[in-house]
Structure formats: structure tokens, C-alpha cells
């Protein structure tokens, strides 16, 4: 057995959506570009970014109108709630999110570590955290 870590990075984030064009437009403003898809049995569209994890849009959600059960109901269900992406300037990122017509769900939030964050919803209610590390 070796002491080398099993995990060496993040390969991608999977986000289930009902509409590829609408989802793509939502992630374009974050600097993601369309790479390929839909491909595979699910099917999946692949978005890439020069400095952030790849996003795989899984194109088989029924509807965007239902609440996000992991975030929007009083009972706290187990499961992944959001992806956190690093930003250099949270105030600038929030202004750009707002200008692009995307909804800031919460923030800015200041953490004891000195980090700051805002939580953004894509059109399907999926949550992305924009996180500025402590300076």
C-alpha cells in the first residue's frame, strides 16, 4: 500500500437539466464553452473552462419548475447541494451575474476564514457558489 492519495483532482461536475440551450446560456457567462454533445445514453453535453472543473449537463430532467429538494424544502435531505467555483473578485462576479440576468439566491456571505461567497441559481434551480478565498 502506498501513501499516494487516491484522488488527484476533480474530473467534472454533473448537473441535470431539461433544456440544453437554456443551460448553456446560463453557464456561458461564467466563462464555460461548449465542447461536445449530446453524447451517450443519458445524454450528456460537455462544457469546459480554462481554470474550473468541466461541467457535464445531463439532459434528462423532466422540468425546471419543481423545487430543488436538496435546497428548497424545510427538511434537509442528504445529497450534493452545490458546486463552488473560485472567483478573484466577488463584487465584480456578482455584478456580472446580475447583468447577465441570472439570479443571485444568497450573498454576499462572509465566512470566519475570511472567504466570501454568493450563491447563484441556473434557470433550472441548480446552485453554484461563487467563492472568493481569503486575501
Assess if residue 72 is contained within a domain.
no
* Structure confidence at residue 102 as a pLDDT band (50, 70, 90): confident
Half-sphere exposure of 115 (CA within 13 A, CB side): 13
> 40: domain range?
12-63+80-132
Q: What is the pTM of this model?
A: 0.79
pLDDT in tens, 31-66: 999 999 999 888 999 999 999 999 999 998 887 677
Where residue 26 sits, what CATH number does that domain have? 3.10.180.10
Assess if residue 70 is contained within a domain.
no
Assess if residue 103 is contained within a domain.
yes
* Higher-scoring residue by pLDDT: 50, 79: 50
Assess if residue 1 is contained within a domain.
no
Q: Identify whether the C-beta of residue 32 lies closer than 8 Å to the C-beta of residue 12.
A: no
Assess if residue 6 is contained within a domain.
no
Assess if residue 71 is contained within a domain.
no
Using the CB atoms, write b or e for 92-102: b if 16+ within 10 Å.
ebbeebeeeeb
Amino acid at each position: 500500500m502506498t501513501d499516494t492519495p487516491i484522488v488527484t483532482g476533480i474530473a467534472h461536475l454533473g448537473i441535470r437539466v431539461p433544456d440544453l440551450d437554456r443551460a448553456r446560456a446560463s453557464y456561458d457567462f461564467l466563462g464555460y464553452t461548449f465542447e461536445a454533445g449530446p453524447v451517450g445514453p443519458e445524454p450528456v453535453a460537455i462544457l469546459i473552462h480554462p481554470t474550473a472543473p468541466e461541467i457535464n449537463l445531463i439532459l434528462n430532467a423532466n422540468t425546471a419548475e419543481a423545487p430543488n429538494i436538496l435546497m428548497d424544502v424545510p427538511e434537509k435531505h442528504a445529497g450534493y447541494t452545490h458546486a463552488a467555483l473560485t472567483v478573484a473578485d466577488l463584487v465584480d462576479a456578482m455584478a456580472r451575474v446580475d447583468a447577465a440576468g441570472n439570479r443571485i439566491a444568497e450573498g454576499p456571505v462572509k465566512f470566519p476564514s475570511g472567504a466570501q461567497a454568493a450563491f447563484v441559481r441556473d434557470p433550472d434551480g441548480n446552485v453554484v457558489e461563487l467563492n472568493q478565498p481569503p486575501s
